[in-house]
């Protein structure tokens, strides 16, 4: 029974090994299919050509990530192949060999049992003969003794005595025969008993022990092989994990190299040209234009508009930059309007004389007046940007004290943007100042202004008149809306603010407010009234875009 329990244990162990085989076989198939599908899927997204070293970081990052993901698929395929060759196939062979070995052990065990069973049957047969001869001898002895007694009783009758004597002799001979048979059966039984005892001792003390030792050896070897195969699985997994970790590390490094600022600078450098945005279109007073210029070439009229002495003084009238989309349509419209008119003053067909204000200007072709105007505009932008940066810095400090005031991360990004913009504007101003000095400086600018004033006097007058009208209308509208309240300006909200009670008003992007008082002390708060006049309080200065009347 115990040996049968051992067989049951061996069957369970072989079944467990077979379960390992089925498990890793399914895992190997799944891993192979996954790796193959991953590799084929990612291969579609591979860049067609290798990017240059000085390519944008976004392109380099993409070009670095895709091959690593592809390598992950290749790694899974290689791992599944190695798993199949080093684990799955050996497990399959091991299970088949162990099943055959178990069948051989069971056959050997059956032979051992058959041998001892045969010995028992031989002993039992000898025992039966031994017992049978014993019974027959006893019976012959009893018959012989009875015959002797009958002779003693029948001595008077001589005839009976003779007959009984003959019978007694026969029974005595029979008894002696049974005695010999019994002795022979006894000796045979003793021999069979000795053989049985030897076989029985060998069966229990040697055969079973040797058989159990063989089973234990087989089990130990099976466990060792299984352990080695399982360790091989761990080594394959470690190798796969190492390769995947390496791929992931390279992906992480590629992502870390992603730099939008670097890309922006790269794109700006790549697309940078010497051309500047189109200049403003000056006013041309036709009443003051000499007829010779109106009837002359377009370049001479352009020189008059730009405030230069002649067309040769400015390359802007000769060089053609990139025309702005739509200018050709407008010029064609003007020509079609004057299609049937007299072909005089050909230079006046379009207000965009020599492409001024519709064509970009090369940096080297700027006039000194255009340089001065741009320096002035840029300085205004510097002041506005600096104010925005200061307001943002104040809001950042307020958020550090009270996080409810706004999103710190958003404010920090905005501050960085303002800083970059401020540095760029200052650098551009420096370049234009160098250009201004190279063109003759203040002396040349004064000379150019004296020429331009004669041409733009009417435009200046009209411009001042229109501005006064607009301010008058704005002041009147403001007074009508909030009679008895004096506002210094209006503001629109840039960011969302949750507010705090009725004193600190909640804001949403795009909301309009009337400003009661400017934050001249840099407290970070501006006194305002809502557009509908229902709320009055303070809003963060950095959260609004302020326009003074």
Handedness of CA 449, 451, 457, 460 (dihedral sign): negative
- Can you count the helices (H) and strands (E) in the chain? 12, 7
pLDDT at 31: 95
Report d(CA 359, CA 277) in Å as an integer.
Answer: 8
Q: What is the DSSP string of 6-20?
A: HHHHHHHHHHHHHHH
Residue 528 class from Cβ within 10 Å (0-12 exposed, 13-18 middle, 19+ buried)?
buried
pLDDT at 444: 77
Closest among 545, 505, 541 to 521, alpha carbons compared: 541
Q: In the sheet where 525-530 sits, what is the strand order?
A: 536-540, 525-530, 512-517, 489-493, 544-548
Domain ranges of the chain: 2-259, 477-549
CATH superfamily of 2-259: Arfaptin homology (AH) domain/BAR domain (1.20.1270.60)
Extract the tokens encoding 139. 């019976």
Distance between alpha carbon 266 and the CA centroid of its chain, in Å?
27
Extract the tokens encoding 368. 């000194």
Residue 384 parent element (H or E): helix 368-401
Q: Does domain 477-549 have CATH number 1.10.10.10?
A: no
Q: In tens digits, what is the pLDDT along the chain, a chain of 549 residues?
A: 788 888 888 899 899 999 999 999 999 999 999 999 999 999 999 988 888 877 888 999 999 999 999 999 999 999 999 999 999 999 999 999 999 988 998 898 889 888 888 888 988 998 998 888 888 888 877 777 776 666 555 444 445 555 555 666 766 777 778 788 888 888 888 888 888 898 888 888 888 888 888 888 888 998 999 999 999 999 999 999 999 999 999 999 999 988 888 888 888 888 877 777 777 777 777 776 766 677 767 777 777 777 666 655 666 666 544 444 444 433 443 343 444 444 566 667 777 777 777 777 777 778 888 888 889 889 999 999 999 898 888 888 888 888 777 788 888 888 888 898 899 899 989 988 998 888 888 777 777 776 665 544 433 333 343 443 334 434 433 334 344 457 888 898 888 888 877 788 888 888 889 898 888 777 778 889 988 888 888 888 888 888 887
**Are 532 and 486 within 8 A, CB to CB?**
no
Strand pairing category for 489-493 and 512-517 = antiparallel
Report d(CA 38, CA 46) in Å as an integer.
Answer: 13
């Amino acid at each position: 029974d115990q040996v049968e329990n051992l067989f049951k244990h061996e069957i369970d162990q072989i079944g467990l090994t077979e379960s390992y085989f089925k498990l890793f076989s399914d895992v190997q198939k799944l891993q192979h299919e996954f790796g193959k599908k991953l590799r084929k899927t990612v291969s579609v997204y591979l860049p067609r050509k290798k990017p240059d070293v000085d390519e944008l970081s976004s392109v380099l990052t993409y070009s670095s990530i895709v091959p690593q993901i592809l390598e992950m698929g290749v790694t899974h395929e290689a791992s599944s192949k190695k798993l199949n060759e080093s684990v799955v196939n050996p497990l399959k062979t091991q299970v088949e060999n162990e099943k055959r070995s178990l069948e051989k052990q069971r056959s050997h065990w059956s032979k051992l049992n058959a041998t001892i069973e045969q010995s028992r049957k031989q002993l039992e047969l000898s025992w039966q003969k031994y017992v049978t001869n014993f019974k027959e001898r006893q019976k012959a002895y009893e018959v012989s003794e009875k015959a002797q007694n009958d002779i003693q009783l029948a001595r008077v009758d001589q005839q009976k005595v003779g007959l009984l004597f003959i019978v007694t002799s026969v029974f005595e001979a029979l008894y002696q025969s049974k005695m010999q048979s019994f002795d022979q059966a006894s000796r045979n039984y003793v021999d069979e008993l000795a053989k049985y005892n030897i076989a029985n001792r060998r069966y229990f003390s040697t055969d079973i022990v040797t058989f159990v030792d063989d089973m234990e050896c087989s089990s130990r070897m099976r466990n060792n092989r299984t352990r080695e195969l399982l360790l091989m699985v761990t080594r394959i997994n470690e190798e796969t994990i190492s390769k995947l970790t390496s791929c992931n590390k390279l992906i992480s490094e590629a992502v870390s190299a992603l730099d939008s600022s670097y890309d922006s600078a790269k794109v700006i450098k790549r697309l940078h040209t010497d051309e500047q945005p189109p200049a403003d279109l000056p006013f041309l007073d036709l009443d003051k234009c000499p007829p010779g210029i109106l009837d002359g070439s377009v370049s001479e009229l352009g020189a008059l508009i730009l405030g230069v002495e002649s067309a040769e003084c400015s390359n802007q009238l000769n060089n053609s930059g990139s025309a702005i989309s739509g200018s050709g349509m407008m010029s064609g419209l003007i020509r079609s309007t004057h299609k049937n008119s007299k072909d005089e003053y050909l230079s006046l067909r379009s207000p965009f004389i020599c492409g001024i204000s519709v064509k970009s200007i090369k940096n080297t072709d700027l006039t000194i007046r255009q340089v001065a105007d741009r320096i002035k505009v840029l300085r205004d932008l510097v002041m506005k940007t600096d104010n925005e940066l200061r307001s943002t810095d104040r809001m950042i400090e307020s958020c550090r004290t009270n996080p409810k005031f706004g999103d710190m991360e958003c404010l920090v990004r905005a501050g960085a943007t303002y800083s970059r913009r401020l540095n760029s504007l200052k650098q551009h101003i420096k370049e234009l100042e160098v250009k201004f000095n190279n063109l003759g400086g203040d002396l040349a600018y004064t000379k150019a202004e004296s020429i331009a004033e004669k041409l733009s006097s009417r435009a200046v007058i009209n411009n001042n008149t229109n501005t006064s009208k607009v301010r008058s209308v704005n002041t009147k509208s403001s007074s009508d809306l909030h009679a008895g309240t004096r506002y210094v300006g209006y503001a629109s909200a840039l960011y969302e603010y949750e507010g705090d009670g009725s004193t600190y008003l909640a804001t949403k992007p795009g909301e309009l407010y009337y400003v009661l008082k400017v934050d001249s002390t840099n407290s970070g708060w501006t006194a305002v009234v809502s557009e509908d006049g229902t709320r009055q309080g303070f809003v963060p200065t950095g959260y609004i875009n302020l326009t003074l009347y």
